[in-house]
Structure 1
């Protein structure tokens, strides 16, 4: 934690050069940078559709428990309220919830006009 003066404190929640499943970040997309932050509420006992991201992004779990699953390997990791994760780029995955809804804040580092995620068929 860093003291920012005036009583403010800063805590780094995540600093990463690779995603949760150890895929190294290579580069940011070319073009006019655009940052997007979204707050998602995912219902209890649900699975998101398979998808991938074309840009680096991070997620912060506000409440609940979110399990991320990689389609090709079946590798999984579970994150709880108060934890952050670095999402993978160009890697098919999905999230699933448990007995409670999940609230997650995701920040994407893309370019103007780029979709935040791309659906992938099963």
Structure 2
């Protein structure tokens, strides 16, 4: 009987120890694509690779202005609402948690039609010395 109690106690201690072990890492793919959201295949620029990440915040009722990117980029909307529109009228509507494979070499405009700031984190896969964003209306908006 004494041996059974000791065995049961040892099992309980082992169970508690196992319960305290951190769970394994859990990864969720947010986006995996070979094309931008308009269906255009991505091509990486030539040169020394440089990955750049930034957050962009658009106030309610405001917009980024028409601009284009020169390298593939990926965005993840953290908060707010964002409409990304192309000159041909196509629109990608985004809500928090949505992703976007941004267009390259194509003019587009981000519009916040919501009542709170739209905050998006963007990662660019460009090259050293490359301008990430240009605008036909003047200096780059970002």
Both structures adopt the same fold (TM-score exceeding 0.5):
yes
What is the CA–CA distance in structure 1 between the aligned matches of 2:61 and 2:24, rounded to whole Å? 41
**TM, length-normalised to structure 2:** 0.77
- Out of 94, 100, 106, which is 1:91 matched to? 106
Structure 1 spans left out of the alignment, 5+ residues: none
Whichever structure has more strand as a proportion of its residues is: 1
What is the CA–CA distance in structure 1 between the aligned matches of 2:132 and 2:23, rounded to whole Å? 37
What is the CA–CA distance in structure 2 between the aligned matches of 1:69 and 1:79, rounded to whole Å? 11
Residue 46 in 1 paired to residue 62 in 2?
Answer: yes
2:73 match = 57
What is the CA–CA distance in structure 1 between the aligned matches of 2:130 and 2:60, rounded to whole Å? 29
- Residue 37 of structure 1 and its aligned partner are, at CA, apart by 0.3
Structure 2 spans left out of the alignment, 5+ residues: 1-21
- Out of 125, 131, 137, which is 1:109 matched to? 125
Residue deviations 1:48-67 (CA, integer Å, cap 9, x gap): 11111110000000001110
How many residue pairs match? The answer is 116
Structure of higher CA gyration radius = 2
What is the CA–CA distance in structure 1 between the aligned matches of 2:48 and 2:30, rounded to whole Å? 26
- Residue 70 of structure 1 and its aligned partner are, at CA, apart by 0.4
CA RMSD after TM alignment? 1.5
**TM, length-normalised to structure 1:** 0.89
